[in-house]
Amino acid sequence: MDVDSWFLAAGERGNPATALDRPRRAGLGWSEGNLVAPLVHGASYYAELHRRIEQMGGGDLVLFVDWRGDPDERLVGSPESQVGAVLARAARRGVDVRGLVWRSHWDRLAFSGRENRHLGEEINAAGGQCVLDMRVRVGGSHHQKFVVLRHRDRPERDIAFLGGIDLCHSRRDDACHRGDPQPQPMAAVYGRRPPWHDVQLAITGPAVGDVETVFRERWDDPQPLTRSPLRWVADRVHRPPVRTSPLPAQRPDPAPTGAHPVQLLATYPKRFGGYPFAPRGERSIARGYTKAIRQARDLIYIEDQYLWSPQVAAEFADALARRPGLHLIAVLPHSPDQDGRLSMPPNLLGRQRVIDQLRRVAPARVAFYGIENLQGRPVYVHAKVCVVDDTWASVGSDNFNRRSWTHDSELSATVCHAGYARELRTVLTSEHLGAGHENLEMGATFATLAASASALQDWHERGRVGPRPPGRLRPLAERALGPFTRAWADPLYRLVYDPDGRPLGLRLRHRM
């Protein structure tokens, strides 16, 4: 396999300030000798994370980054497995626990400011160091979600978890999709216990050192954690400041564990003051996707929370136009996560424009589905997955929109390995199709999913008469928006929901 044609060379990353590529031989922007295992659903990820942290002891190191963290979220169901309690116990055992959690916006805007603050307080009280990080572009967030576990005396146990799953409510679901017993309020269509579909990766081998480097770059940033004087005052009034210390020296990368080449891709915006490790931002996620999509010949399989931006859609549209045999499948949420009068229309408008754009190019070669559980309840798709030709695959925190490609901090792990990419696709599609499809060939995927979704849709339209078909996919329903709604939703979508974090020069040249 010609890995060079799929991965970005170090010079193609577009960010020479990062330390990610420096340990590699000249021009090599990835590590080799890794083993990457997909953990589909929060229940699988949480159980493995819980087991691993509970085995750690004095001198070991836990590094975690999160968009939202709920300290009372249970990793395996028992009260003592709450996220905050597990990390606090580790700190009391002598584990060096460090966390960077997005400070977040106001809770009444459906964000997580209070929850993130409480998680940090519990860890810090136990001797760990967890800070609220608001070093973001105006209106942006730290959206990365990863954990690194390094062991002082047992380096063979070193591991990194990276993907789309936060340590918070609603994520601990499994393949049955009955939802997390600790739910997060969402749109009414998802019910009181929203079913949730997500993916995280377990990575061992030298790439663990790369994920740790990402944490260290953010931790060592000398800029203040927030630039808001109001937040400075509030911090002094409500709680003592967190005293942070430098990280211990980074240990050598773990030894090889497998045959998977892994490249980390990131997004950081162009921010006032800049990041020391990305002074003009970084858009290697956008560049990495662009390079991989241009290699596509047969099938692009996507699972994503959002599919919004015309810039993103243009890459898919160009590939579909160039390759008459190329098909695209996108598994998306049936409905946005919030159904407010102001929040839903911009979501629907952005997605429908992209769907229309791709259908115009290749009407018979693109398909868009949502998931439902066996009880007929829509499943919220929070996964961020892309598999191209069963060769290159990405799992991370980034969505297919301009915000994730330019504006918020994101991190994705891409793997160029036919066996891994095929396994990831078949694990996901076999869940959506039911038993008997564990070895679905790539060439049969488009037609097989189409037939399954059509059968389930027909069953619903016939009033659910007779046995329910085994699949869980249904075609996405189109929702028409009136001219007035489109008129006010469009600027809100472009400026708030899907902003642009590129430097002005790149915007004017329409480049990433």
pLDDT for the residue 385: 98
pLDDT for the residue 83: 97
Q: For residue 352, how many other CB atoms are within 10 A of its CB?
A: 18
**Which H or E run includes 102?**
strand 96-102
Q: Please name the CATH architecture into which domain 283-394+418-499 falls.
A: 2-Layer Sandwich (3.30)
What is the spatial distance between Cα 195 and Cα 335, in angstroms, rounded to a whole number? 12
User: CB burial class (10 A; 0-12, 13-18, 19+) of residue 26?
Assistant: exposed
What residue ranges of the chain are covered by domains with CATH 3.30.870.10?
A: 31-259
CB-hemisphere CA count at 13 Å for 58? Answer: 2
CA nearest neighbour of 443 among 363, 362, 321, 325: 325
**Looking at 292-362, which runs of residues are DSSP E strands?**
299-303, 327-331
> Does the CA dihedral 41-460-368-182 come out positive or negative?
negative
pLDDT for the residue 1: 73
Contacts of 430 (CB under 8 A, 6+ apart): 437, 438, 440
Buried b (16+ CB within 10 A) or exposed e, 231-262: eeeebeeeeeebeeeebeeeeebbeebbebbb
pLDDT for the residue 25: 64
3-state DSSP of 161-179? EEECCCECCCCCCCCCCCC
End-to-end CA distance of the chain: 27
Asked: is 31-259 a CATH 3.30.870.10 domain? The reply is yes
Buried b (16+ CB within 10 A) or exposed e, 70-105: bbbbbbbeeeebbbbbbbbbbbebebbbbbbbbbbe
pLDDT for the residue 257: 98
What is the spatial distance between Cα 78 and Cα 181, in angstroms, rounded to a whole number? 12
What is the spatial distance between Cα 264 and Cα 276, in angstroms, rounded to a whole number? 18
pLDDT for the residue 109: 43
CA nearest neighbour of 314 among 324, 305, 322: 322
Side chain identity, residue 108: R
For 83-108, write each residue's pLDDT tens digit: 999 999 999 999 999 999 997 744 44
pLDDT means per 10 residues in the chain (512 residues)?
92 94 78 97 98 98 96 96 98 98 61 64 94 92 97 97 97 98 95 98 97 98 80 59 87 97 97 93 97 98 94 95 98 94 91 95 98 97 98 98 97 98 98 93 98 98 96 92 93 93 88 86
Report field, pTM of the whole predicted structure over 0.85: yes
pLDDT for the residue 236: 60
**Would you state the structure tokens that stand for residue 440, as one six-digit string?**
């679905």
**Would you state the structure tokens that stand for residue 131, as one six-digit string?**
């800070």
CA nearest neighbour of 210 among 156, 258, 148: 148
Contact present, 348 and 338 (Cβ < 8 Å):
no
pLDDT for the residue 471: 96
What is the spatial distance between Cα 71 and Cα 88, in angstroms, rounded to a whole number? 10
**Looking at 157-259, which runs of residues are DSSP E strands?**
159-163, 196-197, 199-204
